Chains A and B, each alone.
Chain A
C-alpha cells in the first residue's frame, strides 16, 4: 500500500511538472481570470436578476473550457511518451502499466474552475460556498473525470485527431440530446430503436452532470439519492474506460 502511494505520488508529481513546463496552467488561469472575473463581478443596470445571465454565460464558458481542456489533457497523456520514447525509462522503474495509467489519470482529472466561480460569487455578495454550488462542483468534477477517461481510452486506440473529434462529438452530442434518446427510441421502435437504446446505454452521459440552471436561478439542491446515483454512474463509467485503457496499454507494442 505504501509502495503504491509513493509510486502514485511520483507519477502525479512528474505529470504536474510536465503540465507546468508546457505552460498549460498559466493558459487556464489567464483564460479564467480574463473572462470569468469580470463576468461574475458585473451588475448590469444595478439589477441583481440580470446578473443571472452573466452567471449563465460564465458557467457555459467553464463547461466549454473544462471539456476541451480535459479532452486535450487526456488525449496528450500517452502519445508524447510513445513518440519521445520516454515510456521506456518510466516503465523500466518498478511501475506497472496500470499504475502509470492511474497516475496520468489523476493529474488529468484536476478541476478547479468552480472554486474561482465560488470566490467571484462570494465577492459579489451572493454567498461563498452555497450547497447547490458545492453539488455542482462535485458533479462537474465527475464530468471531467468521465471526459478524461474517454479521451485517455481514445488516445490508446485512435489517432490524436480522430480521438479528439470523436470524444468531443460524443460528449457534446450527449450533453444536448442525451435526455431525449429514450423517448426517441420508444417512438421509432424496431432496429433503429434498439440501436438508439444501445447508444443510450454505452454513450457518456454528459447531461447527467449539468446543474447550471439550478445554480443560476437558485432552484435548490439535488436529492441526495439522485446525487449518489449520478456519482456512482460517473465512477462506473470511469472504471470501464480505465479498465479498457489498461487492457489496450497492456496489449500495445511499445
Chain B
C-alpha cells in the first residue's frame, strides 16, 4: 500500500510536469521569459566557437574523403600512403 502511494507521489507530479513542458513548448517565443534566443553574450561566444569547430570538422571530413589530403592539395595526396 505504502509503495503504491509512493509511486503515485512520483507519477502525479510527473504527469503535470510533462503536460506543462509541452504546454510551454507551444507558447510563442515572444511571450516566454527567454524572449529571444541566440542574442546574448554567451550565444555570441558559443556561436563563434561553433563556426570555428564546424569549419575544422568540414576540413577534416574533406581530408578523409580525399584520402588524407586536403581538397586541392596535390602534394599531400601524392605523399599520402596508399
Show the binding face of A for B, using Cβ within 8 Å. 53, 56-57, 60, 135-136, 139, 176, 179-180, 182, 200-202, 205, 207-214, 219, 222-223, 226-227, 229-230, 232-233, 236-237, 239-240, 243-244, 246-247, 250
> Which residue on B lies nearest to A219, using beta carbons?
B35
Assess whether B16 is interfacial by the CB under 8 Å rule.
Answer: yes
Indicate if the CB atoms of A179 and B9 lie closer than 8 Å: no
Cα separation A233 to B32 with both chains bound (whole Å): 14
- Tell me whether A179 and B34 are in contact (CB under 8 A): yes
In angstroms, Cα B42 to Cα A212, docked, is: 12
Does B14 sit at the interface, judged by CB under 8 A? yes
With a cutoff of 8 Å between Cβ atoms, the chain A residues found around residue B10 in the complex are 240, 243-244, 247
- The residue on B at minimum CB distance from A244 is B10
Min Cβ gap A195→B in Å is 15
Residues of chain A contacted by B41 (CB below 8 angstroms): 53, 56-57, 60
B64 within 8 A of A: no
Q: Does B75 contact A (CB under 8 A)?
A: no
Contact A243 B33 (CB under 8 A): no
The count of A-to-B residue pairs whose CB atoms sit within 8 angstroms is: 91
Beta-carbon nearest neighbor of B36 in chain A? A213
8 Å CB interface, B1-52 against A = 6, 9-10, 13-14, 16-18, 20-25, 27, 29, 31-37, 39-43, 46
Q: Which residues of A contact B6 (CB under 8 A)?
A: 243, 246-247, 250
B residues whose Cβ falls under 8 Å from a Cβ of A: 6, 9-10, 13-14, 16-18, 20-25, 27, 29, 31-37, 39-43, 46
Contact B31 A222 (CB under 8 A): yes
Report chain B residues within 8 Å CB of A250: 6
CA distance A180 to B50 in the complex (A): 16
Question: A78 to B46, alpha carbons, bound, how many Å?
Answer: 35
8 contacts between A and B (CB under 8 A): A135-B33, A202-B18, A208-B33, A210-B34, A212-B40, A222-B33, A233-B21, A243-B9
Q: Are B39 and A60 in contact (CB under 8 A)?
A: no
Instruction: Give the CA-CA distance A219 to B14 in the complex, in Å.
Output: 33
